[in-house]
Structure 1
């Protein structure tokens, strides 16, 4: 079955749906309290962690749909009795959704989407586009920025794109807690954008592509031209996990892991579903950089 592109599409396409919600979690479990999954007779949306716990929830939900049951509570120990070894305990509430429930679920999903952390990929070259190919599948709002429209046009990922003559303004207008990955076609522009991102002092991540030598050059440049600006919190080289593979897709994989580790750190994860960032300020653009 084709998976719809959004929860709204899923709920609109399915007449009968059970909402499965984790209402209490004790000890270790695959997902946190508040996680939702939606079960229709022949389709699913979301996950409560997979494994036997999810299998039981899906079966229970479809039994409810078949038998006309409106509500059901489950209290499941995550131990040998269900073939899992998490060791925790999960309480779930299963509810048949009315039209008002579907509307409320769509509103919650919209609010979570608006609160997603922003990741700015500053540069639409090979590695920049490889980053967008991976970031489009993660719980972030990815924005690809470049001064060159012909490079932006090569991006095929489902992300926001901007052609910006002064990309520093995109950094200045970003919300607090954003991540900035800087990998333009020009070292001088890299330095300017990195300095702008560091100057904010509220970014979750600032990384610049390059080598240890480039980092030293940036440090000296910042000290001379930016009132002694520190680059202590800069990641450079980015994605430096020991791999010597220089293929853009491989570099992008290491960088994305680095960025997501920062965005989903213990501090960032304190809000429900890890969504704790403010929405983007300023103009929105479509994925080909045109002002909307």
Structure 2
């Protein structure tokens, strides 16, 4: 498959990759400037000449994928003894991350607000896992790039997300919302946690979470009510737009920053919503 076809297919699948391009050649090199290679976590498409140069390029590209880097990178390589290649020239490679999601999001709940929200999130540079115990609540057709997860033990899915994830909880059951909240706050390594509900619901949850030993500063990271206060309305799509807007504001504000355990979420800096969403 050509590199351009591979990029198109990977974009449609929502799979991140790194485009590696030779942008400068000096002396004898295995491929000319302009040659390209696409690297994913498991595959490569096309070649920049093989040998140790290509191996090092693949290694760097996969390190960028693992760290979810979104910054381009230039690297110069001498094709002599250090790389074990006989060409003897030098080359400069450009590494361009493609399709790396701004946010990895777990949406708990396939009710009416969830059905309005998930297509919005899927249209953003996000990777979405949509989780519910009720198979029949999901629509027949899912947006591209959305993974449907049906699990009777919904809370177990919290641990399947990587550090720095976004969590949105809007299930059909307040007790389940509480258990999910406890599991997410216990991890305390999220970039964003939004819980659907009113200020009254928040007060009740904080009381019960205090009884479980959660610290005030940990509970303060929870967004409840969630969503942008400037987006008014109580229709499912209006609430969904409000939540999506807050997600966008969060990942834009946190661009280039690492989310560390215990670090206050950037969402704390956002204005509190006044809408009752329960």
Alignment of 1:102-251 (within 5 A): 103=46, 111=65, 112=97, 113=99, 117-154=103-140, 156-158=142-144, 159-224=146-211, 226-230=212-216, 231-251=219-239
SS in 2 for 1:264: helix
Instruction: Give RMSD over aligned pairs.
Output: 3.6
TM-score by length of 1: 0.55
Question: Residue deviations 1:11-68, cap 9 Å, x none?
Answer: 9xxxxxxxxxxxxxxxxxxxxxxx99xxxxxxxxxxxxxxxxxxxxxxxxxxxxxxxx
Which residue among 240, 249, 259 is the counterpart of 1:261? 249
Say if 1:152 and 1:162, in contact at 8 Å, map to a contact too.
no
**Once the 2 structures are TM-superposed, how far is the Cα of residue 99 of structure 1 from its aligned partner?**
5.7
Say if 2:101 and 2:125, in contact at 8 Å, map to a contact too.
no
Question: Residue deviations 1:91-132, cap 9 Å, x none?
Answer: xxxx98446477479x86993546653101010111112111
Say if 1:119 and 1:179, in contact at 8 Å, map to a contact too.
yes
**Once the 2 structures are TM-superposed, how far is the Cα of residue 260 of structure 1 from its aligned partner?**
2.2
**Once the 2 structures are TM-superposed, how far is the Cα of residue 10 of structure 1 from its aligned partner?**
9.1
Structure 1 unmatched runs, 5+: 12-34, 37-69, 73-94, 278-292
Cα 1:104–1:142 shift into 2, 3 Å: farther
Say if 1:152 and 1:163, in contact at 8 Å, map to a contact too.
no
Say if 2:102 and 2:251, in contact at 8 Å, map to a contact too.
no
Cα 1:103–1:194 shift into 2, 3 Å: farther
Find the aligned partners of 2:222 and 2:234 in 1 and give their Cα distance: 21
TM-score by length of 2: 0.58
Cα 1:100–1:133 shift into 2, 3 Å: closer
